């Protein structure tokens, strides 16, 4: 259903600009998830993120003639969402103490311990053996706990399955930075999730403990 074919996207945009406005509804459907989750990641408030998502799509509509087709439409819209989110965050930050993990988003590479949790008892995907909602809650919690610069990369790359180039364009960072952040994000997720998810899988071997 979701159509990422650049040629049909451009054709659809041409028709919207020529007056077939209703086509905009279908054009943006594949963008709704990444836009909302990007804004949730930045704003951490559902009402605010929804409002910002509406604003993002209205801006995309009003500025549609500026879309050049050198990026995927979805990538372009996610970058509008990111700017919208960061703009709102700056306004909010004027009203409250800095409560963002490690400072303003994207301002620096957070330091951290990226060594993995060494655990051999959680090797199979435990989908069949767990309550799915309980598992989903653990995953959401772990992702929410990531520093924002890592969370945004995981969100676009692993959750929305955008490629490295699209992720780099949407976040306005280099492809190298996407790779480094993705690696660190996955390492942090593995570290926080492996011990919690261990209980969900059949116990086969013991806990190996941290390697010296």
Partner 1 sequence: MRIDCKHVWEHISAYIDGEIDPVLRADIDKHLETCEICSAVLDSTRNVVVLIADDRVFDLPAGLSERLHKRLDEEMSAGPPRESLTE
**Chain residues in the site for partner 1 (CB under 8 A):** 16-17, 19, 21-22, 24-25, 28-29, 32-33, 36-37, 46, 50, 53-54, 57-59, 61-65, 114-120, 122-127, 132, 135-136, 139-140, 143, 154, 158-159, 161, 164, 179, 182-183, 186-187, 189-190, 193-194, 197, 208, 211
C-alpha gyration radius of the chain:
20
Contact 149, 109 (CB under 8 A): yes
Q: Which two tokens stand for residue 115?
A: 């060594």
Q: How far is the CB of 186 from partner 1 (least distance, A)?
A: 5
Q: How far is the CB of 9 from partner 1 (least distance, A)?
A: 15
* Rounded distance between C-alpha atoms, residue 176 and residue 184, angstroms: 12
Q: How far is the CB of 183 from partner 1 (least distance, A)?
A: 4
Q: Give 93 or 144: the residue with its C-beta nearer to partner 1.
A: 144
Q: How far is the CB of 177 from partner 1 (least distance, A)?
A: 13
Angle in degrees, 0-180, between the axes of helices 132-144 and 175-197, rounded to the nearest 10 = 130
Q: Give 164 or 177: the residue with its C-beta nearer to partner 1.
A: 164
* Rounded distance between C-alpha atoms, residue 158 and residue 163, angstroms: 9
Q: Give 104 or 120: the residue with its C-beta nearer to partner 1.
A: 120
Q: Give 104 or 142: the residue with its C-beta nearer to partner 1.
A: 142
The backbone torsions φ and ψ at residue 57, rounded to the nearest 5 degrees and listed phi first, read: -70, -35
**Cβ-based neighbours of 73, under 8 Å, separated by 6 or more:** 6, 9, 13, 27, 31, 67
**Cβ-based neighbours of 181, under 8 Å, separated by 6 or more:** 109, 149, 150, 153, 173
Q: Which two tokens stand for residue 110?
A: 């957070």
Q: Give 119 or 171: the residue with its C-beta nearer to partner 1.
A: 119
Q: How far is the CB of 173 from partner 1 (least distance, A)?
A: 16
């Amino acid at each position: 259903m979701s159509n990422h074919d650049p040629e049909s996207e451009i054709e659809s945009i041409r028709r919207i600009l020529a007056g077939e406005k209703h086509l905009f509804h279908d054009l943006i459907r594949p963008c709704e998830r990444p836009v909302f989750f990007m804004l949730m990641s930045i704003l951490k408030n559902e009402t605010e993120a929804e409002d910002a998502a509406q604003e993002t799509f209205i801006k995309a509509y009003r500025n549609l003639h500026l879309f050049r087709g050198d990026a995927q439409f979805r990538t372009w819209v996610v970058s509008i969402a990111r700017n919208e989110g960061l703009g709102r965050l700056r306004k909010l930050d004027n009203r409250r103490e800095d409560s963002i993990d490690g400072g303003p988003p994207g301002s620096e590479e957070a330091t951290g311990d990226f060594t993995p949790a060494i655990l051999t008892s959680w090797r199979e995907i435990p989908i069949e053996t767990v309550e799915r909602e309980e598992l989903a809650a653990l995953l959401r919690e772990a992702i929410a706990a990531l520093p924002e610069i890592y969370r945004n990369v995981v969100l676009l790359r692993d959750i929305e399955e955008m490629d490295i180039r699209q992720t780099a364009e949407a976040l306005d960072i280099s492809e190298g930075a996407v790779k480094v952040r993705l690696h660190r994000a996955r390492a942090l997720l593995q570290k926080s999730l492996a011990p919690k998810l261990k209980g969900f899988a059949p116990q086969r071997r013991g806990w190996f403990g941290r390697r010296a």
